[in-house]
Copies of this chain bind each other. A is one copy, B any other.
Amino acid sequence: MVNVSALSDPQPKLVARAVSVYYGGKQALFDIDLDIMSREVTAFIGPSGCGKSTFLRCFNRMNDLIDDCRSTGSMLLDGSDIAGPDVDVVQLRMRIGMVFQKPNPFPKSVYDNVAYGPRLHGMAPTRGDLDEIVETSLRRAGIWDEVKDRVDQPGTSLSGGQQQRLCIARAIAVRPDVLLMDEPCSALDPIATATIEELIDELKSEYTIIIVTHNMQQAARVSQKTAFLNLGRLIEFDETQKIFTNPSEPSTQDYITGRFG
């Protein structure tokens, strides 16, 4: 068991400092400091409404879409600010991809789903380039073998688990560094869930992954670091193993052992 405070990677991928978020007058996050390390899976756990999704969406500024949502504090990606008003969110979201709770493939072909991002950003000048990006992304998402014969069929015709992997493929097609996942398995059955968890495990060799989950076992299984949030505050952030075998904070312990409420 490694002690957190002893962790000192020289360069965290993402840094949050004193991040607070408000919905209208209501404060949803309070002064959060957190470092996300490169090529690791970091899980956010906590009771419903504690602000996991809100925090996650700070990283790629999805909260900008909510009219009355406003945040303070600083967030850095590879050392450069991402929270400022003059940051180009398009570029930011290219570098920080996102996978959602419900698999949400576009009602287009599998190919067009994956090709959407690269086309949007003009990443593939020729059709050949695009083909390659699509194939690579699908491969990386571990779904190429299942769909290679039907990339022209609509993405919505796939099964739930396949759809979610398609969405992951779509996200990595724009070559992001970071993948944000908001309860990516909560709409899936246990078997599809297992395949996604498996995939996350493989992806972590290339991507920095942050995953929000309600399922503590899932956090335990897939992540290297776990952050426990409660009532909008970061209670504990540590190695997953440490959190699940020997958390420092009593309230973390209470939460993960089911002594809550």
Instruction: Determine the chain B residues whose CB is within 8 A of the CB of A217 once the complex forms.
Output: 217
Distance, CA A261 to CA B260, complexed state (A): 34
A87 located at the interface, meaning its Cβ lies under 8 Å from any Cβ of chain B in the complex: no
Q: A189-B214, A214-B189 known; A194 and B258 CB under 8 Å?
A: yes
* Chain B residues within an 8 Å CB radius of A1: none
Residue of B nearest to A221 (CB): B258
Known: A47-B190, A48-B190, A189-B214. 13 other contacts (CB 8 A): A47-B189, A47-B191, A48-B189, A48-B191, A190-B214, A190-B216, A190-B258, A190-B260, A191-B260, A191-B261, A194-B258, A195-B261, A217-B217
Count of chain A residues near B, Cβ 8 A = 13
- Restricting to A183-239, which residues have a CB under 8 Å from any CB of B? 189-191, 194-195, 214, 216-217
> Once the chains are docked, how many angstroms separate the CA of A214 from the CA of B189?
8
A26 → chain B, closest Cβ, in Å? 18
Stoichiometry, copies per complex = 2
Complex interface residues of chain A between 46 and 93 (CB less than 8 A to chain B):
47-48
Contacts of A260 in B (CB 8 A): 190-191, 194
By a beta-carbon cutoff of 8 Å, the part of chain A in contact with chain B is 47-48, 189-191, 194-195, 214, 216-217, 258, 260-261
Chain B residues lying within 8 Å of A195, measured Cβ to Cβ, are 261
A190 — which chain B residues lie within 8 A by C-beta? 47-48, 214, 216, 258, 260
A47 cross-chain contacts in B, Cβ below 8 A: 189-191
A260 CA / B190 CA spacing, docked (Å): 9
Q: Which residues of B contact A194 (CB under 8 A)?
A: 258, 260-261
* A48 to B187 CA separation, bound complex (whole angstroms): 12
Assembled-state Cα–Cα distance A258/B189 (Å)? 12
Query: In the complex the two chains form, what is the Cα distance from A10 to B38 in whole Å?
Result: 62
Q: A258 contacts which chain B residues (CB < 8 A)?
A: 190, 194
